[in-house]
Amino acid sequence: MQLGDFTLRWFSDGIYKLDGGAMFGVVPKVVWTRKYPVDEDNFIPLALNAVLIETPQAKILIDTGYGTKLTPKQVAMFRLERPPTLLESLAAGGVHPEDIDFVVYSHMHHDHASGATQRDASGAVRPTFPRAKHVMQRLEWEEAKNPNIRSAHAYWEENWAVLEADGLLMPVDGDVELVEGVRLIPTGGHTRGHQAVLVSSQGQTAMHMGDLLPTHAHINPLWVMAYDDYPMDSIAAKEKWIGRAKAEGWWLTLYHDPEILAGIWNTEGKMIQAIRADDALAAEG
């Protein structure tokens, strides 16, 4: 997708499944199942749609999926279906891991951070993107190292230990412009240090809201995940940023949506434009 002078491209790391009730929080099942498919075990399909932003200054990858370090037991537990892995998708799109300048994390939970490292032939964990600086809010980095009792299971040290040792981590404080036209905006909510990425070029804008807007079915600010540690902060951030996106015609990217990679909603809450995964894959050939 062209966004002014920038290009946005999506690269799949496969499809996995989570409990639908956990993904839709307090929303009753009879309501959310009208908007989202569910299987007989109450699991729903979720994508891992990494976004690559190419600006004249830098190539920036947002969120990295599960990667290839999972054990067979973990693959089964997450019901993870592949191909493709992120690296296979990038290769098919002609993107080399060495090309990536920045890896940006909405937050460092395992389904967003695991793909940034991989095992080499000897089994040692190595950075997947050897030149990239790895960017997250400092609050998120602190929480990853000292998680609360509820989120501890979702932060895996193997996902960042080698990045820290190699000096590749770049925690940022608050609202910052990473490169011209790419702004990192703290939101909190899902985690204390969760952030959104606002991308603007030539009057066109897209926002990656990470797990505050995992799928198109979560567009209602009140539809927040049961996984969110600070749901009132999620709701406030969603009201603010989705409100602006609707009013100003921004694209919103959907990291976990298997069907729709990005959409534009009008102020009545209707999706008026969409980039569909099928179309995007067809365009990539």
Residues that bind Zn ion (CB under 5 A): 111, 211
Nearer to Zn ion, 111 or 140 (CB): 111
Nearer to Zn ion, 182 or 225 (CB): 225
Structure-token pair, residue 12:
């799949």
b vs e for 221-239, b when ≥16 Cβ sit within 10 Å of the residue's Cβ? bebbbebbbbbebbbebbe
Count of alpha carbons within 13 Å of 183, Cβ hemisphere only?
Answer: 13
Region label for 94, one of left (φ > 0), alpha (ψ between -120 and 50) or beta (otherwise): left
Cα dihedral angle (210, 35, 233, 275), rounded to 10 degrees? 30
Nearer to Zn ion, 22 or 165 (CB): 22
b vs e for 157-188, b when ≥16 Cβ sit within 10 Å of the residue's Cβ? eebbebbeeeebebebeeeeebeebbbbbbbb
Q: Find the shortest distance in angstroms from Cβ 263 to Zn ion.
A: 18
Nearer to Zn ion, 127 or 214 (CB): 214
Q: Find the shortest distance in angstroms from Cβ 270 to Zn ion.
A: 26
User: Distance (Å, rounded) from C-alpha 239 to C-alpha 150?
Assistant: 25
Q: Find the shortest distance in angstroms from Cβ 17 to Zn ion.
A: 13
Q: Find the shortest distance in angstroms from Cβ 76 to Zn ion.
A: 19
Nearer to Zn ion, 211 or 233 (CB): 211
User: Distance (Å, rounded) from C-alpha 74 to C-alpha 66?
Assistant: 10
SS (H, E, C) 150-164: CCHHHCCHHHCHHHH
Nearer to Zn ion, 65 or 263 (CB): 65
Of the candidates 249, 257, 171, the residue with the CA atom closest to the CA atom of residue 207? 249
Q: Find the shortest distance in angstroms from Cβ 211 to Zn ion.
A: 4
Q: Find the shortest distance in angstroms from Cβ 213 to Zn ion.
A: 11
Nearer to Zn ion, 112 or 246 (CB): 112
Cα dist from 44 to 8, 38, 107, 217, 260, whole Å: 26, 5, 22, 12, 15
Residue 230, C-beta contacts closer than 8 angstroms, at least 6 positions apart: 188, 189, 190, 191, 192
Q: Find the shortest distance in angstroms from Cβ 121 to Zn ion.
A: 30
Looking up tokens 């807007």 gives: 213
Q: Find the shortest distance in angstroms from Cβ 111 to Zn ion.
A: 4
Nearer to Zn ion, 13 or 111 (CB): 111
Structure-token pair, residue 78:
């997450």
